Structure 1
Amino acid sequence: MIFRNRAEAGRQLAEKLAGFIERDALVLAVPRGGVVIAAEIVRMLNLNIDLIIPRKIGAPHNPEVAIGAVTQDGTTLFEPRLIELLGISRGELEDRVAYELEEIRRRMTLYGAGRNIGKSGGRQLIVVDDGVATGYTMQAALRSARSYGPKELVLAIPVAPRDTLELLEKEVDRTVCLMVPEDFYAVGQFYENFEQTKDEEVMEIMRRFSDL
């Protein structure tokens, strides 16, 4: 099974969600690709949207090496053994977290986000992305979403490998995943069109749907 594009995957997710989603549920999309998925869900189910932005924390001297993840409310996950192995000091770690938080704040402002997430307590929250691979940053996003006190926390994704999905299922009350393939190399292999989503597209979706 291959999705034509993110919009098609979003429509299929909306059909699965329609059976149990409440009228005041809030969709929290992970930029940038997850916002295109979420746009179809909020359009078909007449829901509201906001963003949740997890960022990988890279090692100080090798940013490609993930030593943790952080979200906009300061929720963090760390890899203590890797941090110890690389000899990363507390000061260096704090600097990396501060850098990523500043980038998250920049993106939240750019995208016009943050107006609805503070009103999410006691509501169903649906965290949406275009797929997950290792699930590390998504795990941080889900823990951040949980901290808002939702009535029910739902993860909605088109595709994920089985081991990652099992990890993330521990963080939520309900999971909707359209595909759990045995041979998983990258999220993009399950889309015919997986072009990078541009900032302008995210901004337009937020303008169109955030005040529903």
Structure 2
Amino acid sequence: MRRRPDLPFADRVDAGRRLGRLLRHLGGTDVVVLGLPRGGVPVAFEVAGALGAPLDVIVVRKLGFPFQPELAMGAIGEAGCEVLDLDSIAREGVSADEVRAVERRERGELEARVRRLRGARERLDLTGLTAVIVDDGIATGATARVACQVARLQGAARVVVATPVAPSSAADALDAADEVAVLESPEPFVAVGRWYRDFTPVSDEEVSALLAKTSRRAPTRGHPDD
């Protein structure tokens, strides 16, 4: 693939370092950086390093309608978190049993993915902290919006969404965040990978390695009651 030198970001490391500089005002506060797997984690690793904050993943799964799985009726996260679009569920006549069946299936997929990414490490406690949710780019904002809701359900006192690149229209979908930090908002947007010279896919193994590395690099902040 031909690399274009005029693109804003060399790769996710470059983007993460630049995003970390943009977020320096958060340094010294009680912050946890949460990468959206997979591509958001290398960016989040650099942000966590810049802020001296611990790094974790925030894993969410869409709950699709039984008759149209690609259309979301809600989403789930760890620790039993669930976000449902009750108006849409009622309008489409989906029963409580059908919702629970989809939730059970997706819960199994979510837990399997968490095990692959985090291994034996515990999820970081967000209670009373600022959660900085990082992705390598945002197209529609739907996943980041759900991640914000899940972080709040997990106890975050404040939620920041940070990304190197997003269209200006994505801000409307991120009203669940207290703050949105974006380095570049090009138009026309086209796709996230369009704005990186190197947008190589990130594997589960790479995510797991970055989480292990950051656990040695940055101390985990204590629970407020510790």
SS in 1 for 2:74: strand
* Alpha-carbon separation, structure 2, partners of 1:149 and 1:115: 16
| Alpha carbons 2:73, 2:88 under 8 Å: kept | no
| Alpha carbons 2:11, 2:198 under 8 Å: kept | yes
The AA in structure 2 aligned to 1:78 is D
2:204 pairs with one of 186, 199, 202: 199
Q: Which has the larger radius of gyration?
A: 2
Range moving further from structure 2, 59-68 or 21-30: 59-68
* Alpha-carbon separation, structure 2, partners of 1:81 and 1:24: 37
- TM-fit CA distance, 1:45: 2.8
- TM-fit CA distance, 1:27: 0.5
Q: Give the corresponding residue for 1:184.
A: 189
Alignment of 1:102 onto 2:108: yes
- TM-fit CA distance, 1:157: 0.9
Percent of matched pairs sharing the same residue: 34
* Unaligned ranges ≥5, structure 1: none
The AA in structure 2 aligned to 1:175 is V
The AA in structure 2 aligned to 1:10 is G
Alignment of 1:76 onto 2:71: no
* Alpha-carbon separation, structure 1, partners of 2:27 and 2:45: 16
TM-score normalised per structure 1: 0.86
Alignment of 1:21 onto 2:44: no
Q: Structure 2 vs 1, CA of residues 179 and 103 (structure 1 numbering), >3 Å: closer, same or farther?
A: same
Q: Structure 2 vs 1, CA of residues 5 and 108 (structure 1 numbering), >3 Å: closer, same or farther?
A: same
* Unaligned ranges ≥5, structure 2: 1-6, 219-226
SS in 1 for 2:26: coil
| Alpha carbons 1:75, 1:140 under 8 Å: kept | no
The AA in structure 2 aligned to 1:186 is A
* Alpha-carbon separation, structure 1, partners of 2:104 and 2:179: 32
| Alpha carbons 1:57, 1:97 under 8 Å: kept | yes
Q: Give the corresponding residue for 2:177.
A: 172
Q: Structure 2 vs 1, CA of residues 6 and 79 (structure 1 numbering), >3 Å: closer, same or farther?
A: farther
- Aligned pair count? 209
* Alpha-carbon separation, structure 2, partners of 1:111 and 1:100: 16
* Alpha-carbon separation, structure 2, partners of 1:116 and 1:66: 25
SS in 2 for 1:126: strand
| Alpha carbons 2:39, 2:135 under 8 Å: kept | yes
The AA in structure 2 aligned to 1:95 is A
- TM-fit CA distance, 1:62: 4.0
| Alpha carbons 1:11, 1:41 under 8 Å: kept | yes
Alignment of 1:158 onto 2:164: yes
- TM-fit CA distance, 1:77: 3.6
* Alpha-carbon separation, structure 1, partners of 2:74 and 2:142: 8
TM-score normalised per structure 2: 0.82
The AA in structure 2 aligned to 1:124 is T
| Alpha carbons 1:35, 1:129 under 8 Å: kept | yes
- TM-fit CA distance, 1:106: 1.2
